[in-house]
């Protein structure tokens, strides 16, 4: 009886411990990379800023994320593209972040995060 109980417990634990990343077909690539911004609407003319963060599971093995924008500039490089290293101390995810500052453009602006062949895009409005 104990062997059956132990075997059943072992099988249940084995199944529940599998990560979706261990089977790439079990999760859509666009669900692996997450992208967010502290503000989705900012003032144009160089007066608005938003903090942008990307998150990806550590087990994905990705160490850098490239951010691009259709308008404005990333503060750290004064350009529309920046590659940031991911970092995490204790969390099961790696994070990369940057700050976008507006330009004179008004309207919808798109920020894309790319890690290997995985892309995620969000919209920021410059008004």
Domain range for 60 is 26-126
| CATH code of the domain containing 65 | 2.60.40.10
In a domain, 30, yes or no: yes
What's the domain count of the chain?
A: 1
HSE at residue 105, side-chain half, CA atoms within 13 A, is 17
In a domain, 12, yes or no: no
pLDDT at 117: 84
Rounded Cα distance, 116 and 122, in Å: 18
Question: Whose CA is closest to 43, among 115, 91, 88, 109?
Answer: 109
In a domain, 67, yes or no: yes
HSE at residue 54, side-chain half, CA atoms within 13 A, is 30
pLDDT in tens, the chain (127 residues): 444 433 433 333 334 444 444 454 455 666 689 999 999 999 999 999 999 999 988 887 778 899 999 999 999 888 888 888 777 766 788 899 999 999 999 999 999 999 888 899 999 999 9
In a domain, 56, yes or no: yes
What global pTM score does this model have? 0.73
In a domain, 5, yes or no: no
């Amino acid at each position: 009886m104990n062997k059956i109980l132990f075997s059943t417990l072992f099988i249940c634990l084995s199944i529940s411990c599998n990560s979706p990343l261990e089977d790439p077909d079990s999760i859509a690539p666009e669900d692996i990379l997450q992208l967010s911004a502290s503000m989705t609407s900012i003032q144009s003319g160089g007066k608005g800023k938003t903090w942008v963060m990307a998150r990806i599971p550590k087990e994905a093995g990705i160490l850098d994320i490239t951010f691009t924008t259709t308008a404005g500039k990333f503060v750290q490089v004064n350009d529309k593209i920046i590659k940031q290293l991911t970092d995490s101390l204790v969390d099961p995810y790696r994070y990369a972040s940057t700050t976008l500052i507006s330009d004179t453009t008004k309207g919808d602006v798109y920020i894309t995060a790319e890690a290997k062949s995985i892309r995620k895009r969000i919209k920021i409005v410059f008004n």
